[in-house]
C-alpha cells in the first residue's frame, strides 16, 4: 500500500512538472548580429532575463551574419518557416510588411512614448517594428583645422549653408594640406549611398520618390531641385574635392584620422575610433542646409513579429520587455549606437548630457529624416545608388536621374503601386 | 660551336626561369598578402596596403587576429561542416558520375546521345535560376534518419549534399576520358567473362586516376566555396559552412585582420587537398587538355 502511495505521489509530481514545462511556449527569434560578440552577450542577456521573468514563454535565439540576414529571411519566407520574432532594417520593413512576412506589433499603450522617430517602424498606419537604437551621420572635422582656416563651427541652429559649405571645401582643398577636402565614403557602395546621400537631395528639395502618393519618382528625383543637387554632386568630383567611386576602402577607413581628408561625412559608429585617435580635436558637426533644412538619414535595425507567428502576443511581449531603458543603454554602451530614448541616453557613457557623443542624439532628434516608407524603397534605393555613381563618374545629370525615375516608376507599376492608390 | 651555344642556352634558361618566377609571384602575392595581413592590427594593415609593406611581416606582428577570430565565430565547426559536406559530396559524386560516364562511353542503349546532350545542356543553366524552386522542393521532401521519418530537409547535412551528388561537368569529364581509353581493354575483359560492373570497377577505374583527380578537385572547390545554397537551407548555425561563416566577420566596422586570419585558416584544407592530388591533376590536364 505504501509503495502504491509512493508511486501515485511520484506520478502526480511528474504530471505537475510536465504540465509546468508544457506551459512554457517556445518562441523562435532570429537576429542579424552573428559575429558580434558584444551583441551576442547583450541579446542573450535580454532573452535570459525575459525567460526568467515569466513562465509563459521561452525565447530561443538563432543568429545570422548581417550581410546574409535579409536573404535568409526571404528564403525562409519562401519555405514558410519564419521564426516568431525577427529583426529588420528600418527602411526594409515596409517591403517585408507588404510582402506578408510581418504582422503589426501588439504593444501596450504608451510603450513607445519618448522614442526617437527613427526607431519606430510604421507601415500602413500600424507599428510593425521598433528599434532599441538609431544611428546618425555627422560631418567629422578637426577643430584645429577649422580654426587655422578661419572656418565657422556650425551649430544645429545655424548649420553651414550650401554656399558656405562649398567655399569651405574650396578653402580646405586650396591649403594643399589634404589629398581631398571631404571624404564622402564613396568606397562603401551598399546602403550607405541612399542612407547618407539622399538627405542631401532632400535638403535641396528633391527626394527618391514622391511621398505624397508613393506612386512615382517623377518630378522629385528628376525635378529642378534634384537636377540642382545632381549638378552640385557632380561638381564635387569635377573639382577634385572628394574621392570618386574608385576610392579604396582602406583610405575611407583611415584617411580622416591620418589627415588625408580634412572633413568626413560618416556615421556615429566610427565616432569612438575618431575620438580615440584625435581626442578633443575632433568635432561632430550637423549636416549643411542646402535650402530646405539640414537632414540626415534615420532608422536602423528593429524588432518585429513574423506574419506566420502563432504567438504574436508572446513575441510582442518579448519586444516590449526589450524596450526597457537599461537594455537600450546597454546596447548603446556595447555597440556605440544612439539609444532610442532620452531616458536611456542619460544612462549611457557616451550619449549622457556632457558625454562625448551627446551631439549625435541631438542630431538624430533634430535632423533625422526617414527614407521613403514604401515597399518600393528596396528597389528605388538601388536605382538611386546607380544614378549617384553614374553622375559622380561624369554621366549627364538629367539623363541619369531620368533613367532612375523610369526604372523606379516601372517597378512601382509592375507591383501594382505596392498597395498605394491614386 | 658548343662554346657559343652554351651562353645562349643559359641565357634562355635564365629568362625562362625569371618569367616563371614572375608568374609565380603574381599568383603567390594574394596568398602572401592574406597571411601577412592576418598578423597585423587593423590600422597598420590598412595603411600598409599602399606600399610594399603589405607583403612583408613588418611592424606590430602577432597572432591576436587568430585568437579574436576564434572568439568571434565557431571556426572549427564551420570547417568541419564544410569538409564533411564537401568530402561526402566528392566521394558520392565521383562514384555516381563515373558510373554515368562509363555508361555513356561504353554501353549501348536507345537515346544515349540525346540523354547525354540533355545532361551537358544543363551546364548552361545558372544555379541561381533554380535555387528557389529547389528550396521549395527540398522543403517538402521526406527523410528517414535517427529520429525516424521527418518532412523537410532544411537545417541538415544531407540538404547540402544530395542535390550536388551528380552534375553535368563531372559526368562530361568522365565521358571524355573514358572515350579515349583503348576499346581493346574492355573487349578483353568482356571476353574473359567480366560483367559490366567488373569492367568498371576492376579495369577502367584503376586507370582513371587523372580524371578522378581532376573531377575531385573541381568538385571540391565548387562545394567548398558554396554560399548561396547553404545560406538558403541552413538557418541553424550548427550546419553552416565556411563561406557563410565568413560573413560573421563583416560588421559595421570590419576587422580586416580577423577576416584575413579566417581566410588563412579556411584556405588550409583546400591547399592540403590540392597538394595531395596535384600530380594526378597535372597529368590529367596534360592528357585531356582540360583547364581547371
Question: Out of B232, B235, B250, whose CB is closest to A66?
Answer: B250
A30, A68, A79: residue with CB nearest B247? A68
> Count of alpha carbons within 13 Å of B274, Cβ hemisphere only?
10
Same-domain pairing of B246 and B266: yes
Residue-level pLDDT at B290: 46
Average pLDDT of chain B? 90
Alpha carbon distances (Å) from B240 to A156, B76, B135 = 47, 11, 16
Cβ contact A336:A350 at 8 Å: yes
Q: Does A114 touch chain B (CB under 8 A)?
A: no
A389 lies within 8 A of chain B by CB: no
Buried b or exposed e, range A285-301, using 16+ CB within 10 angstroms:
bbbbbbeeebbbbbbbb
Domain count, chain B: 2
Provide the 8-state DSSP code for A393. Answer: T
The count of C-alpha atoms lying within 13 angstroms of the C-alpha of B60, restricted to the half-sphere facing its C-beta, is 11
pLDDT at A162: 97
Mean pLDDT of B82-86: 97
Q: How many CB atoms lie within 10 A of CB A32?
A: 22
8 Å CB contact of B237 and A63: yes
CB atoms within 10 A of CB B96: 15
- Distance CA(B220)–CA(B278), nearest Å, equals 13
- Residue ranges per domain, chain A? 26-135+299-369, 137-296+376-419
- The model's pLDDT over A394-413, given as tens digits with 9 standing for 90+, comes to 999 999 999 999 999 999 99
pLDDT at B267 over 60: yes
**CA–CA separation, A388 vs A401, rounded Å?**
9
Q: How many helices (H) and strands (E) does chain B have?
A: 14, 2
Question: Which residues neighbour A138 within 8 Å (Cβ) at sequence distance 6 or greater?
Answer: A265, A266, A267, A268, A271, A284, A285, A286, A287, A296, A359, A360, A363
Q: Count other C-beta atoms under 10 Å from residue A8's C-beta.
A: 10
User: Which of the 8 DSSP states describes residue A417?
Assistant: G
Measured CA to CA, the distance from residue A135 to residue A270 in angstroms comes to 11
A248 with A187: CB under 8 angstroms? yes
Nearest to B235 among A72, A80, A267 (CB): A72
Same domain, B33 and B117: no
Contact (CB, 8 A) for A160 and A167: no
Residue of B nearest to A277 (CA): B43
Asked if the Cβ–Cβ distance from A254 to B46 is below 8 Å, we say yes
Closest-CA residue of B relative to A67 is B247
Segments of chain A with pLDDT less than 50? 1, 11, 13-21
CA–CA gap between residue B22 and residue B30 (Å, rounded): 14
Contacts 24+ apart (CB under 8 A), B203-211: B204/B102, B204/B178, B205/B98, B207/B181, B208/B98, B208/B174, B208/B177, B208/B178, B209/B280, B209/B283, B210/B177, B210/B280, B210/B281, B210/B283, B210/B284, B210/B287, B210/B288, B211/B173, B211/B174, B211/B176, B211/B177, B211/B284, B211/B288
Task: Kindly state whether residues B160 and B276 are assigned to the same domain.
Answer: yes
Residue B46 has a CB neighbour count (10 Å cut-off) of 23
Nearest to A253 among B46, B233, B237 (CB): B46
Distance CA B266, CA B246 (A): 9
Distance, in Å, from the CA atom of B251 to the CA atom of A400, rounded to the nearest integer, reads 32
Give the domain-ending residue among B42, B72, B102: B72
> What CA dihedral angle connects B149, B154, B155 and B159, to 10 degrees?
90
Q: A322 to chain B nearest CA, in Å?
A: 22
Contacts of B44 in chain A (CB under 8 A): none
CA distance, residue B136 to nearest chain A CA (Å):
6
* Domain end residue (candidates: B57, B72, B87): B72
Is B168 a residue whose pLDDT tops 60? yes
Same domain, B98 and B66: no
Three cell numbers, residue B279? 600530380
Do residues B14 and B139 share a domain?
no
Strand partners, A194: none
Judged on CB neighbours under 10 Å (0-12, 13-18, 19+), A183 is buried
Please indicate whether residue A83 or residue B280 has the higher confidence score (pLDDT). A83
DSSP track, A271-311:
HHHHHHHHGGGEEEEPPPB-SS---EE---EEEEEETT-S-
Question: What CATH code is carried by the domain that includes residue B231?
Answer: 1.10.3720.10
- Give CA–CA dist A265/A117, Å, rounded: 22
Confidence of residue B110 (pLDDT cuts 50, 70, 90): very high
Cα(A360)–Cα(A289) distance, rounded to whole angstroms?
17
Both B228 and B200 in one domain: the answer is yes
The C-alpha of B210 sits at a distance from chain A's nearest C-alpha, in angstroms, of 38
Cell numbers at A39, concatenated: 551583441
Query: Domain check: are B189 and B253 in the same one?
Result: yes
Contact B251 A36 (CB under 8 A): yes
Better pLDDT: B7 or A415:
A415
- Of B23, B54, B72, the one marking the end of a domain is B72
Q: Where does the pLDDT of residue B249 fall: very low under 50, low under 70, confident under 90, or very high at 90 and above?
A: very high
Chain A: residue nearest B135 by CA?
A: A79
Do B50 and B106 reside in the same domain of the chain?
no
Same fold, A26-135+299-369 and A137-296+376-419: yes
Between B76 and B291, residue with greater pLDDT: B76
Sort strands A85-89 and B148-151 into parallel, antiparallel or unpaired: unpaired
φ, ψ for residue A181, nearest 5 deg = -70, -35
Residues B106-123, buried b or exposed e (16+ Cβ, 10 A)?
A: beeeeeeeeebeebeeee
Mutate to test the interface with A, among B150, B251, B258 (most CBs of A within 10 A): B251
The ipTM, to two decimals, is: 0.78
Kindly determine whether residue B46 and residue A250, on different chains, have CB atoms separated by under 8 Å: yes
Determine whether the interchain pair A35/B250 forms a contact, defined as Cβ–Cβ distance below 8 Å.
yes
Both B54 and B85 in one domain: the answer is no
| Partner-chain contact A269 B244, CB within 8 Å | no
Neighboring chain B residues of A269 at a CB cutoff of 8 Å: 252-253
Q: Which domain does B68 fall in, by range?
A: 1-72
- CB-nearest partner of A35 from B132, B139, B248: B248
**Chain-chain contact of A250 with B49 (C-beta, under 8 angstroms):** yes
Q: Which residues of A touch B71 (CB under 8 A)?
A: 37
Tell me, yes or no, whether B142 and B57 share the same domain: no
Superfamily of domain A137-296+376-419: Periplasmic binding protein-like II (3.40.190.10)
Q: Which fold has domain A26-135+299-369?
A: D-Maltodextrin-Binding Protein; domain 2 (3.40.190)
| Residues recorded for chain A | 422
Q: Is 80 exceeded by the pLDDT of residue B288?
A: no
B131 and B23 together in one domain: no
Which of A30, A31, A35, A249 is the best residue to mutate to test the B interface, defined by the most B CB atoms within 10 Å of its own CB? A35
The nearest alpha carbon in chain B to A62 belongs to B236
Question: Residues B37-79: pLDDT tens digits?
Answer: 999 998 899 888 888 999 999 999 999 999 999 999 999 999 9
Looking at residue B254, its pLDDT comes to 81
Which neighbouring-strand residues pair with A122? A127
CA–CA gap between residue A174 and residue B141 (Å, rounded): 67
Asked if A34 lies within 8 A of B73 by C-beta distance, the reply is: yes
State residue B286's pLDDT score: 62
Regarding whether B84 and B2 lie in a shared domain, the answer is no
Nearest to B136 among A35, A68, A79 (CB): A79
- Whether the CB of A75 is below 8 Å from some CB of chain B: the reply is yes
Arithmetic mean of pLDDT, B252-276: 89
Amino acid at each position: 500500500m505504501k509503495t502504491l502511495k509512493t508511486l501515485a505521489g511520484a506520478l502526480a509530481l511528474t504530471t505537475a512538472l510536465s504540465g509546468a514545462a508544457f506551459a512554457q511556449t517556445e518562441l523562435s527569434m532570429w537576429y542579424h548580429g552573428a559575429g558580434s560578440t558584444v551583441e551576442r552577450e547583450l541579446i542573450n542577456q535580454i532573452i535570459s532575463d525575459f525567460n526568467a521573468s515569466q513562465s509563459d514563454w521561452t525565447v530561443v535565439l538563432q543568429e545570422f551574419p548581417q550581410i546574409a540576414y535579409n536573404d535568409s529571411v526571404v528564403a525562409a519566407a519562401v519555405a514558410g518557416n519564419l521564426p516568431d520574432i525577427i529583426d529588420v532594417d528600418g527602411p526594409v520593413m515596409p517591403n517585408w510588411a507588404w510582402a506578408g512576412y510581418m504582422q503589426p506589433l501588439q504593444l501596450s499603450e504608451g510603450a513607445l512614448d519618448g522614442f526617437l522617430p527613427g526607431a519606430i517602424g510604421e507601415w500602413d498606419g500600424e507599428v510593425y517594428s521598433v528599434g532599441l537604437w538609431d544611428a546618425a551621420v555627422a560631418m567629422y572635422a578637426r577643430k584645429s583645422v577649422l580654426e587655422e582656416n578661419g572656418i565657422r563651427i556650425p551649430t544645429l541652429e545655424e548649420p553651414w549653408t550650401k554656399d558656405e559649405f562649398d567655399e569651405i571645401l574650396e578653402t580646405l582643398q586650396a591649403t594643399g594640406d589634404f589629398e581631398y577636402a571631404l571624404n564622402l565614403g564613396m568606397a562603401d557602395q551598399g546602403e550607405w549611398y541612399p542612407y547618407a546621400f539622399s538627405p542631401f537631395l532632400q535638403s535641396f528639395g528633391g527626394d527618391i520618390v514622391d511621398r505624397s502618393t508613393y506612386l512615382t519618382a517623377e518630378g522629385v528625383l528628376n525635378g529642378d531641385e534634384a537636377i540642382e543637387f545632381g549638378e552640385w554632386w557632380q561638381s564635387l568630383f569635377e573639382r577634385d574635392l572628394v574621392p570618386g567611386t574608385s576610392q579604396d576602402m582602406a583610405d575611407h577607413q583611415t584617411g580622416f584620422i591620418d589627415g588625408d581628408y580634412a572633413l568626413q561625412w560618416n556615421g556615429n559608429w566610427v565616432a569612438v575610433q575618431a575620438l580615440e585617435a584625435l581626442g578633443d580635436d575632433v568635432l561632430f558637426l550637423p549636416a549643411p542646409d542646402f535650402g530646405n533644412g539640414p537632414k540626415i538619414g534615420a532608422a536602423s535595425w528593429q524588432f518585429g513579429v513574423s506574419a506566420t507567428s502563432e504567438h504574436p502576443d508572446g513575441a510582442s511581449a518579448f519586444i516590449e520587455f526589450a524596450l526597457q531603458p537599461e537594455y537600450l543603454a546597454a546596447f548603446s554602451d556595447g555597440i556605440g549606437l544612439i539609444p532610442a530614448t532620452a531616458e536611456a541616453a542619460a544612462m549611457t557613457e557616451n550619449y549622457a548630457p556632457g558625454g562625448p557623443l551627446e551631439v549625435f542624439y541631438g542630431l538624430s532628434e533634430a535632423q533625422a529624416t526617414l527614407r521613403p516608407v514604401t515597399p518600393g524603397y528596396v528597389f528605388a534605393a538601388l536605382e538611386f545608388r546607380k544614378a549617384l555613381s553614374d553622375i559622380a563618374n561624369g554621366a549627364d545629370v538629367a539623363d541619369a536621374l531620368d533613367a532612375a525615375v523610369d526604372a523606379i516608376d516601372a517597378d512601382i507599376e509592375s507591383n501594382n503601386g505596392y498597395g498605394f492608390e491614386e | 660551336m658548343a662554346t657559343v651555344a652554351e651562353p645562349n642556352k643559359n641565357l634562355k634558361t635564365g629568362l625562362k626561369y625569371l618569367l616563371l618566377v614572375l608568374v609565380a609571384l603574381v599568383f603567390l602575392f594574394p596568398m602572401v598578402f592574406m597571411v601577412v595581413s592576418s598578423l597585423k592590427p587593423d590600422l597598420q594593415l590598412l595603411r600598409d596596403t599602399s606600399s610594399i609593406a603589405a607583403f612583408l611581416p613588418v611592424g606590430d606582428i602577432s597572432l591576436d587576429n587568430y585568437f579574436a577570430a576564434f572568439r568571434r565565430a565557431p571556426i572549427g565547426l564551420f570547417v568541419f561542416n564544410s569538409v564533411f559536406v564537401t568530402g561526402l559530396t566528392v566521394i558520392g559524386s565521383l562514384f555516381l558520375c563515373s558510373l554515368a560516364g562509363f555508361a555513356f562511353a561504353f554501353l549501348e542503349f536507345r537515346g544515349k546521345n540525346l540523354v547525354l546532350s540533355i545532361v551537358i545542356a544543363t551546364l548552361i543553366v545558372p544555379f541561381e535560376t533554380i535555387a528557389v524552386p529547389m528550396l521549395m522542393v527540398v522543403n517538402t521532401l521526406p527523410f528517414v534518419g535517427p529520429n525516424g521519418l521527418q518532412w523537410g530537409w532544411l537545417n541538415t547535412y544531407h540538404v547540402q549534399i544530395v542535390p550536388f551528388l551528380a552534375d553535368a561537368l563531372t559526368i562530361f569529364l568522365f565521358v571524355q576520358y573514358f572515350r579515349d581509353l583503348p576499346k581493346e581493354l574492355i573487349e578483353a575483359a568482356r571476353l574473359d567473362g567480366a560483367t559490366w560492373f567488373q569492367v568498371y570497377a576492376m579495369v577502367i577505374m584503376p586507370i582513371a586516376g587523372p580524371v578522378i583527380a581532376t573531377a575531385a578537385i573541381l568538385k571540391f572547390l565548387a562545394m567548398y566555396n558554396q554560399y548561396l545554397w547553404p545560406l538558403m537551407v541552413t538557418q541553424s548555425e550548427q550546419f553552416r559552412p565556411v563561406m557563410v561563416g565568413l560573413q560573421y566577420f563583416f560588421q559595421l566596422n570590419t576587422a580586416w585582420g580577423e577576416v584575413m586570419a579566417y581566410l588563412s585558416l579556411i584556405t588550409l584544407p583546400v591547399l592540403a587537398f590540392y597538394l595531395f592530388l596535384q600530380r594526378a591533376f597535372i597529368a590529367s590536364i596534360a592528357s585531356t587538355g582540360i583547364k581547371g
